[in-house]
Amino acid sequence: MANVGGPTEGKRKLLMSTVNSILLYGSEAWADTLTIQQKCKTLLAVQRTAALRVTSAYRTVSTAAVLVISSEIPIDLKARERRRTWLKRQNNQESDTDPREETMQQWQDR
């Protein structure tokens, strides 16, 4: 996608949600493997490319900045959040903390 012109913002957001859906497929099962840094970097590289296209930014923009601009949570945090939500449902637990709040706090800590 071109940085100037090209698809509208809505179409670019659709692309981003499609990329996230593909990356997060089955994340409830494999989210624990993201403790290995190399696996996390691979997923973030794909998400970064999609975020660059959504924001029409150049490749020199940092990953953290482009994810904030595109309003996307890093994929490793999203995968862990989905796993926590899934485990919570499996165990029928009622906890005081919301998995999204935990994820946002972890993102702020980064």
Domain annotation covers residue 3? no
pTM for this one? 0.82
Domains identified in the chain, total number: 1
- pLDDT single digits (tens) 22-31: 999 999 889 8
19 CB neighbour count, 10 Å cutoff: 19
pLDDT of residue 2: 64
CA 25-26-32 angle, 5° bins: 120
Q: Is residue 62 part of a domain?
A: yes
pLDDT tens for 42-62 read: 999 999 999 998 888 889 999
- Cβ–Cβ contacts within 10 Å for residue 14, how many? 13
Q: Is residue 1 part of a domain?
A: no
Looking at the domain assignment, is residue 56 inside a domain? Answer: yes
Does 4 map to a domain?
no
Which range marks the domain in which residue 90 is found?
Answer: 9-109
In this structure, what DSSP letter does residue 32 have?
A: G
